[in-house]
Amino acid sequence: MFKTARLLAIVSRPEFLPANSASLILGISWGINPPFDLAWGLAIPATLVFAIITLVSAAAAQANTMSDYELDLNDNRKKELVLAMNSLGQNKLKSIMIIEIMSSLALLLALSLIQEKPALLLIWVVAVFLAYSYSAPPLRLKSRSWIAMLTLLLVLSVLPILFVFYSFSSEIDYFFLLFLSGQALIVYGVIVPAEIRDFFSDKERGIKTMTVRLGLAKASILGIALLSIGGVLCGAGFFLKLVYRPHPILTIFLLIMAVAHGFVLKKYVQLYSLSKEYISSGELSSIVKIAELSANNPQWITLITQTIVLMSLVLIMCKFLP
């Protein structure tokens, strides 16, 4: 039992758990409005929501692991993943995925009854369909250029945060939509350096990521544009939401978010410069520099994500201040 759980943890990509936690905090910060019952208005719905999005993301990660198995066989970085997949077996993993999806559906029905929001089922259906179709045949959306990008925007950002938000609020908040559009752009913006890091291996193995299709320089520009525009939209949403509340001074926390984005954007500009250098010279040293710099992307993701979570906590605090 312990061995199966350990193998399942490997193929389920547990690195997505922090992202699910962030989606929960972001959605609650925009959706919740006091007064509310601590248990039935917050704790129980939040627990159900987190369980639902975690089960769906786990099944999606497992579908990706199965679909990419043949490619991963030739990738030395994914030996542990391949070994875990061999030990677990595809049939067993498929059964576990079915259990996860059905469990999330059962929890969803409970949440819909508690919150009296059957429309949550629609968001869940779209999320499950896109999360599975992103990796699995016959659609395998990850191989379809701009469709892959749009799918990631929806699955990693828009749908989970919208699901959490709608679980706690039924009101249309245009400032939230402004924030959400920016957050979605940021999510793909921070993925770009990871694709740049894998550019040469992906190109050699025939994996058509967005970065492989665009080339290093254009992909770097795309990352800069997404992170810049996304940061402005996301920050504007927070600013407009806070400035019209009783304590507009709390907008000063946006400076932290701006500094973090500025720091990461500076690194993106460096990636662009190195990409241009490689294109003009073709030297191996440029490839090494690109790989070394883009390898810092997990830290950049953490920095950007944590500042947005911080702003969400500020927003929650603002709602409880007199």
The CATH number of the structural domain formed by 172-322 is 1.20.120
User: CA–CA separation, 18 vs 160, rounded Å?
Assistant: 13
Q: What is the pLDDT of residues 205-261, one digit of tens each?
A: 777 788 888 999 999 999 999 999 999 999 999 999 999 888 899 999 999 999 999
pLDDT value at position 286?
A: 84
Q: What is the pLDDT of residues 291-308, one digit of tens each?
A: 899 999 999 999 999 999
pLDDT value at position 1?
A: 65
pTM listed for this prediction: 0.93
Q: What is the pLDDT of residues 11-48, one digit of tens each?
A: 877 767 888 999 999 999 999 988 888 898 899 999 99
User: CA–CA separation, 322 vs 318, rounded Å?
Assistant: 8
What does the block give as tokens for 131? 């999360």
User: Are 168 and 45 a contacting pair, CB within 8 Å?
Assistant: yes
Q: What is the pLDDT of residues 116-133, one digit of tens each?
A: 888 899 999 999 999 999
Rounded-to-10 torsion of CA 237, 239, 241, 246? 180
User: Are 180 and 233 a contacting pair, CB within 8 Å?
Assistant: no
Is the torsion defined by CA of 147, 153, 158, 159 positive or negative?
positive
Domain positions in the chain are 1-144, 172-322
Residue 2: how many CB atoms within 10 A of its CB?
6
Cβ neighbors of 187 (< 8 A, separation 6 or more) are 152, 153, 156, 157, 230
